[in-house]
Amino acid sequence: MKKVFTLLFLAFSIFTSHAQERMSAELLWKLGRVSLEDVSPDGKTALYSVKVYDTKTNESETKLYALDIKKGEATAFAANLNGAKYLFNGTKVGGTIDGQYALVDADGNNPQKITLIKGASGWKAIEQNDGGLILLFTKEYKFAKTTQENYPDLDLAEAHVFDDLMYRHWDHWNDEFVDHLHMAKYAGDLVRTSIDLQGNEPFDVGSYTANAQGTIVAYDCKKVSGREYAVSTNTDIYLYDIKNGNTANITSGMMGYDRSPSFSPDGKKLAWTSMPQDGYESDVNKLWVMNMETKEKSQVLSENYVQSFSWINNNAVGYMVPKMATQQIGMIDFGSKKETIITKGDYNYKGFVFAGKSLIAERQDMNHATELYSVNLKKGTAEQITHVNDAIYNNLDMGKIEKRMVKTTDGKDMLTWVIYPPNFDPNKKYPTLLYCQGGPQAPVSQFYSFRWNFQLMAAHDYIIVAPNRRGLPGFGVEWNEAISKDWGGQPMKDYLSAIDEVAKEPFVDNEKLGAVGASYGGYSVYMLAGIHEGRFKALISHCGLFNMESWYGVTEEVFFANWDIGGPYWQNPKPEAYTKFSPHNYVQNWTAPILVIHGGKDFRVPENQGMEAFQAAQLRGIPSKFLYFPNEGHWILQPQNGLIWHNEYFNWLDKWLK
């Protein structure tokens, strides 16, 4: 029996009778992007920021607001701080102004810069028991000569010389500088100097914090470089003793990612997230806690994958966890060892702050961008307390979102989202898109994307089928790990199971099916292009992996490739990723028109992948187009580029599916 659950009929009759618009790319870029900054210690006021983009200037502006949670009234903060945080029992708010750390009154008035340190960034203030602040921040540290310094007479030359790996990362070329962790103490006077906690190490610092007693700084760092960095995820937690200047590695022997250290309010415990296996970036992320007196370490949260966490009090931690294609907030009490999932519903909860008896959290779903909600800790119910985008949403027609449990070829139940157009008519036939998720291990949850926006696709009268195929978290470890070394195997069967099941519906036009996706989703589109057996009439691949051999030779974090596809192509026997599961080996089967999109600064999946796919399509006579953004990386971040992206995206789909 087909299991179908209708979740959200967002086109309520009260809106339908008055709505005049559907979502457009222009409206999407007008939405305010809400971020929770902090909640006052008494739980009465929330600070949040709203970023708004201007597509005419291609720039953004961020403003800070203070919200009276009980009254629901928000006022613009007088001082526009970045990284706002309540300090000194809520009487002050700290943050950065013009790159320096500043304090303002709780009402946003009387800003006072308390630092004068050139080149500082990434500020973090930790309130101390003695009434002062420890200020942590990063500054560039130069550990080697530049090419220009090595060739002083060739001042017009432009060259970089590399003799090791990790010469570029994500969207930038590495150079002779790293970000070092610095510390300063504020006790009432302007801070002008700081201490470099890393000496002459050529390593970038990760996240960092300090205890309230002012005795220890904790930070995470991957203290390897070059080839060793490229093939390993082994990141450790370090404790810097402020009194004697000594540094200790407390996670030596824990071989995966150890990150995000955080002290309990009394400083007696240190918690962090940890992945057990070196080289596996999508391993199950666990929460660990160390007793600072005995140095005893233990893993907590037996079953749950922890995305992020924060201390509630000295004996309890709140954490973010993926659950059945949603993101929820949980809590663990270390005394009783009781684990509780607080929130509920088909939503994605994101950033959160516990304050007194309150839980204030960011929440989004596929049809709504992030707003702030007040969550009842006992019932898990949530009340919306910011309304930044109501004026836009209240004038939109929105379709329903449905979740189905689809049977896979090996008899498993796969949660699949189906998103319908506004004013859906079951007596009509609609073109339908298979959405292929990236990651590869990132859930198709209730996320709200400003690029792969399901509401926008539905507004163009497409049905969207978004399966949580093999390899996604939130469905158990086995499901999450099943994709490794099987990229083109069962996950492709899962995709086809989802689209085939929904295509049985009379309202789906089987002659107008498309497949779209980015990153691993882009790989999936290339792979499906050669094995779909005529199902699809239009394809779109953004930053997809096309030729696994050439990709292995140009990507930067090689540990990802080694783990997920089985290692280098020169092995004997050669991993199936390069033969059976490399999309370029199936180009002879291509039939569907394809739009290829790529960014020139994408160093995770470099531009040659898109170029090879486009050239293959052109030489085979397959209708194809190449959309290239020379200054974008793995994502599209500039507003005007985003508008072009959406325009080309829908023009392509409309040309071949309508």
Q: pLDDT (tens digit, 9 = 90+) per residue, 562-607? A: 999 999 999 999 999 999 999 999 999 999 999 999 999 999 999 9
Q: Three-state DSSP class for 33?
A: strand
Rounded Cα distance between 95 and 124, Å, is: 8
Residue 602 appears among annotated catalytic residues: yes
Give the pLDDT of residue 337: 84
Give the pLDDT of residue 6: 40
CB-CB contact of 413 with 436 (8 Å) = no
Rounded Cα distance between 274 and 468, Å, is: 25
Task: Order the strands of the 400-407 sheet from edge to edge.
Answer: 3-9, 400-407, 413-419, 463-467, 430-436, 508-518, 536-542, 594-599, 624-629
CA dihedral 401, 496, 521, 478 (to 10 degrees): 90
Angle, helix 520-531 to helix 490-502, in steps of 10 degrees: 70
Rounded Cα distance between 645 and 139, Å, is: 36
Rounded Cα distance between 165 and 226, Å, is: 5
Give the type of residue at 278. D
Give the type of residue at 163. D
370: tokens are 């992030």
- CA angle (182 as vertex; 192, 109 as ends), nearest 5: 55
β 508-518/430-436 pair status: parallel
β 624-629/594-599 pair status: parallel
CATH code assigned to 398-657? 3.40.50.1820
Rounded Cα distance between 432 and 502, Å, is: 9
β 400-407/3-9 pair status: antiparallel
Beta bridge partners of 299: 288
Rounded Cα distance between 197 and 181, Å, is: 6
471: tokens are 């390899």
Cis peptide, bond prior to residue 473, ω within 30 of zero = no
Give the pLDDT of residue 9: 36
Rounded Cα distance between 422 and 655, Å, is: 21
Give the pLDDT of residue 336: 87
Q: pLDDT (tens digit, 9 = 90+) per residue, 245-288? A: 999 999 999 999 999 999 999 999 999 999 999 999 999 899 99
- Give the residue ranges of DSSP H helices in 536-629: 548-552, 558-565, 608-620
Whole-Å CA distances, 20 to 138, 179, 423, 428: 49, 50, 12, 21
Beta bridge partners of 400: 9
Q: pLDDT (tens digit, 9 = 90+) per residue, 546-565? A: 999 999 999 999 999 999 99
Q: Which residue has the tokens 């010469």?
A: 167
Rounded Cα distance between 60 and 31, Å, is: 12
510: tokens are 């089987």
CB-CB contact of 12 with 49 (8 Å) = no
Domain boundaries, the chain: 35-113, 133-300, 398-657
Beta bridge partners of 317: 311, 332
CB-CB contact of 214 with 129 (8 Å) = yes
Rounded Cα distance between 327 and 465, Å, is: 20
Catalytic residue, candidates 368, 598, 634, 646? 634
Q: Three-state DSSP class for 260?
A: strand
CA atoms within 13 A on the CB side of 538: 23
Give the pLDDT of residue 302: 64
Phi, psi for 509 (deg, rounded to 5): -85, 105
Q: Three-state DSSP class for 161?
A: coil
Sign of the C-alpha dihedral computed for residues 249, 253, 258 and 263 taken in this order: negative
Q: Which residues of the chain have pLDDT under 70?
A: 1-19, 302-303
Rounded Cα distance between 47 and 66, Å, is: 5
Give the pLDDT of residue 461: 98
Give all strands (DSSP E) within 11-120, no chain letters: 33-39, 45-54, 59-68, 73-76, 82-87, 92-97, 100-105, 112-113
Whole-Å CA distances, 156 to 147, 150, 152, 641: 12, 13, 10, 32
β 368-375/536-542 pair status: unpaired
Rounded Cα distance between 486 and 494, Å, is: 12
Catalytic residue, candidates 584, 602, 624, 646? 602
Rounded Cα distance between 208 and 218, Å, is: 6
Whole-Å CA distances, 483 to 105, 303, 487, 581: 52, 20, 6, 12
CB-CB contact of 498 with 414 (8 Å) = yes
Give the pLDDT of residue 3: 47
Catalytic residue, candidates 40, 207, 519, 582? 519
Q: Three-state DSSP class for 479?
A: helix
Give the type of residue at 54. D
Beta bridge partners of 133: 127, 186
Rounded Cα distance between 443 and 328, Å, is: 13
Rounded Cα distance between 81 and 103, Å, is: 9
Q: Three-state DSSP class for 277?
A: coil
Residue 372's nearest CA partner among 657, 39, 2 is 39
CB-CB contact of 75 with 389 (8 Å) = no
Count of helices and strands (H, E) across the chain: 13, 39
How far is residue 68 CA from its own chain's centroid? 29
